[in-house]
Structure 1
Amino acid sequence: MLGYEDGDVVGFCFGTTLAPDTKWWGSMLTPLPAAWMAENGKRTVALNETVVRKAWRGRSVAWQLHEVWLTHRAEERVTLLVNLLDGDDAVQAVYEAWGYRKLGDQQPFADSPVFSVMLRSVAPAENSGVFRK
């Protein structure tokens, strides 16, 4: 999803649906019930990246891109990772304000940082129900 203002690209976001054989949940440091990690290729989309050009930051562009991107998604929930070394919890707080909730932590590789794993419903009005098993 690209965002434009007056013909200029101001930011983008993208992600991918988790396949039934995904490794996404395999490096959790916090144990989760198996039902939470079960994927069928339609249940969960992972938000991989959101980027906003510097001149447009602080104007809710990232949130707008995110919400428009989600309107085009058919999955029931969206997940993302937040690097715990970035921003003194500020990034995680932004995602919490967008309706995400932290599920736990994961470390995808032995030499990678530890990430917070966050989850919310694709439909913002349904966020309270996303945490059912």
Structure 2
Amino acid sequence: MNPDRKATALTFHHLSAEQARERRTEIEDVFRGSYVHAIEAGEKFEAPEAFMHRFDAYTDPSRAAGFELVIAELEGRACGQAWGWPLHENTAWWGGLQLDEGNAADFTAENGSRTFALSEIMVRSELTGRGIAHALHNELLGHRAEQRATLLVRPDNTRAYTTYRNWGWYRVGTLTPSWPDAPTFDVLIRDLPIS
């Protein structure tokens, strides 16, 4: 069966930063249901407190211009979520970027309409493999006006890496975010809009 058909019963809710803050408890619950193994393993970067600290920073009204969160519901229960925002001039997103090739100054020049940063995409662990992540990905990115999108993925996360490549993403370099205990990620890019 086509994985996208399995996700046809989904309902999507698009939220601004302010609306997302109002559903903070639900956001954390989806995270805890999605990152079960990382939480159990004691990964500091994936600890619920660290994750929610980042969520609070991303949705802070003073810096959340353009933030968008999509919640997917299945049978009335939140089963996954994805969010991101457009990168504005002087964004901290590209701090520490090591490009595989090319001029970093040209690559990281942002104006609020060039790049959308896909910060998070997650699905409750018991519901993976049903096309929900792909549906969330397309729901969030399908209407974006930016030229391209970027995301960070752990190089050893083979399942996610393969999935992103199948969805049209490609590697351009590496980056270690400035968050405490952050690992080094591969930086992936894809053109928008999604076709």
TM superposition score normalised by structure 2: 0.58
Q: Matches of 1:44 and 1:25 in 2, distance apart?
A: 11
Answering whether residue 84 of structure 2 is matched by residue 15 of structure 1, we say yes
Deviation of 1:16 after TM superposition, in Å, equals 1.2
Q: Which shows bigger deviation, 113-122 or 29-38?
A: 29-38
CA-atom RMSD in angstroms: 1.8
1:17 Cα shift? 1.0
Specify which of 73, 88, 101 is matched with residue 170 of structure 2: 101
Tell me if 1:76 matches 2:139: no
The aligned runs of 1:43-58 (5 Å cut-off) are 43-58=114-129
How far, CA to CA, are the matches of 2:102 and 2:84 in structure 1?
22
Report the structure number with the largest CA radius of gyration: 2
Question: Is the CA contact 2:142–2:194 (under 8 Å) kept in the aligned structure 1?
Answer: no
Over residues 25-76 of structure 1, what are the superposed CA-to-partner deviations in whole Å (9 max), with x where a residue is unaligned?
2311236412221100111111111111123211110011110111232211
Deviation digits for residues 76-123 of structure 1, max 9, x if unmatched?
Answer: 1110001234x3x33211111110000011122495311100000122
Partner of 2:46: none
TM-score of the superposed pair, with normalisation by structure 1: 0.83
The structure in which a higher percent of residues are helix is 2
Q: Which amino acid aligns with 1:118?
A: L
**Structure 1: gaps spanning 5 or more residues:** 126-133
- Partners in 1 of 2:131 and 2:140 — Cα distance? 14
Kindly indicate whether the alpha-carbon contact (under 8 Å) linking 1:29 and 1:107 is maintained by their aligned counterparts in 2.
no
How far, CA to CA, are the matches of 2:177 and 2:122 in structure 1?
Answer: 22
Q: Which runs of 5+ in 2 are unaligned?
A: 1-69
Higher strand fraction (1 or 2): 1
CA distance in 2, matches of 1:54, 1:111: 23
Distance in 2, Cα, partners of 1:93 & 1:27: 24
**Paired letter, 1:38:** A
C-alpha distance 111-68 of structure 1, shift in aligned 2 (>3 A): closer
CA distance in 1, matches of 2:71, 2:181: 32
Taking the aligned partners of 1:19 and 1:29, their CA distance within structure 2 comes to: 20
Instruction: Name the residue aligned to 1:114.
Output: 184
- Larger RCO, structure (CA 8 Å, separation 6 or more): 1
